[in-house]
Amino acid sequence: MPDNHAPRTISTTKFWQAYGRRRYAILFYALLLMLVAEPVAASFNTPPIVIKLLVATCLLLAVLPNATKRSRRFLIGAILLLILVRLVSERDDVPIHFGIVLALFALTGLVAAGGTLRFAVTSPKVDGETIHAALSTYLLAGLFFGVLYSAIEFSWPGSFTGPDKFTDSSATYYSFVTLATLGYGDFLPRSELARGIATLEVIGGQLYLAVMVARLIAAFELVKKP
């Protein structure tokens, strides 16, 4: 008997194979889109759900490259469930602590960033995917540290102070300013937890740059050897 599912299986397999070859490039450009869209959306009073869905998409795309063929369905289901809980927990009539869910959301993104970093460091050759993975690691760290700051501010209001209300957009901005050690000083961490996380991000950002520079120099030296 003919296998009616064979064409669909082959098509699905080709899709995942094509995705696997460009997975970190897709992640990088999705993150860039997210970082450009967030301030634009805030300026034009776009419904917050748009940015939340973009962040959720970035989380899904960050987790997928670390998935094996067997674990892919489980990870996709788990991330979609986390995204759903994150959206639902914002409602006042739902007995779920939004700050805890948001922190879990952020930590999942940071763990995914660690997986992306591992690929960039252990890849046997430096090609386009390796570079996209290295760039994506930096953007993932900035984005999801920002989500973590939002979780802290929600759970302990006043943990961050500044000229304006500490919104999600402000948290992302503060995160990247901290990660890059720019130190503008417009938003300041006031609680011990907020200061501790900010210190961890600064140290992580500097160590990351040192590791990636050493990685690229080592790869360059290998290429030069006869």
pLDDT tens sequence across 24-71: 999 999 999 999 999 898 888 888 899 999 999 999 999 999 888 888
> Which contacts (CB < 8 Å, 24+ apart) does range 190-193 have?
190/158, 190/159, 190/160, 190/161, 191/152, 191/156, 191/158, 191/159, 193/152, 193/156, 193/159
If one compares 152 and 224, the residue with the highest pLDDT of the two is 152
Check residue 221 and give its pLDDT.
60
Does pLDDT of 9 surpass 90? no
Instruction: Look at the domain 23-224 and name its fold.
Output: Helix Hairpins (1.10.287)
If one compares 33 and 16, the residue with the highest pLDDT of the two is 33
- Report the DSSP beta bridge partners of residue 150: none
Lowest mean pLDDT among 20-29, 136-145, 210-219: 210-219
Task: Decide if 27 contacts 116 (C-beta within 8 A).
Answer: yes
Mean pLDDT of 158-185: 93
Percentage of residues in the chain with pLDDT exceeding 90? 65
Does pLDDT of 225 surpass 70? no
At 16, the pLDDT band (50, 70, 90 cuts) reads confident
**Predicted structure pTM score:** 0.91
Does pLDDT of 226 surpass 60? no
Give CA–CA dist 174/222, Å, rounded. Answer: 38
Percentage of residues in the chain with pLDDT exceeding 70? 92
Over the stretch 112-125, which tens digit does the pLDDT of each residue have? 999 999 999 888 88
Give CA–CA dist 148/171, Å, rounded. Answer: 8
Does pLDDT of 1 surpass 60? no
Express the helix, strand and coil content of the chain in percent, nearest 5 each: 75, 0, 20
The average confidence (pLDDT) of the chain is: 89
Does pLDDT of 213 surpass 90? no
Tokens 């959306």 -> residue? 41
Domain extent listing, the chain: 23-224
Q: b/e for 74-95, b at 16 or more Cβ within 10 A?
A: ebeeebeebbeebeebeeeeee
Give CA–CA dist 195/160, Å, rounded. Answer: 9
Q: Which helix (H) or strand (E) holds 179?
A: helix 168-179
**Count of residues in the chain:** 226
Does pLDDT of 189 surpass 90? yes
Mean pLDDT of 197-218: 89
Give CA–CA dist 128/140, Å, rounded. Answer: 18
Does pLDDT of 175 surpass 80? yes
Does pLDDT of 7 surpass 70? no
